[in-house]
Amino acid sequence: MMRAGARQYVVARPLYSEDSFNEEHKKVYRHHKTALDHVKQYFSWILMYEFPL
């Protein structure tokens, strides 16, 4: 026969406060390129290497 408390288990992990969790997982701002940015980069590369001054 099983006792009622026998189904519990222990988890070993650090406890986080909301502040410390947010500090470790801060959002990083990244500039997302648009299709126009890719087109500009493509044509600037072609102009630089195919038609050097």
Provide the residue-wise pLDDT of the chain in tens; the chain has 53 residues: 456 656 777 878 777 788 888 888 898 888 899 999 999 988 887 777 777 66
- pLDDT score, position 24: 86
Mark 34-44 as b/e (b = at least 16 C-beta within 10 Å): eeeeeeeeeee
Long-range contacts of 15-24 (CB under 8 A, 24+ apart): none
Does residue 4 sit within a domain? no
Question: Is 41 within a domain?
Answer: yes
Residue 28 lies in a domain: yes
- Reading the block at residue 52, the tokens are 């050097």
User: Diameter of the chain by CA atoms?
Assistant: 88
29 in any annotated domain: yes
Find the domain containing 27 and state its range.
18-50
Residue 12 vs residues 9, 15, 32, 40: alpha-carbon distances, Å = 10, 9, 39, 52
What is the pLDDT, as a whole number, of residue 33? 93
What's the one-letter identity of residue 48? M
Residue 8 is assigned to a structural domain of this protein: no
pTM equals: 0.40
Number of structural domains the chain divides into = 1
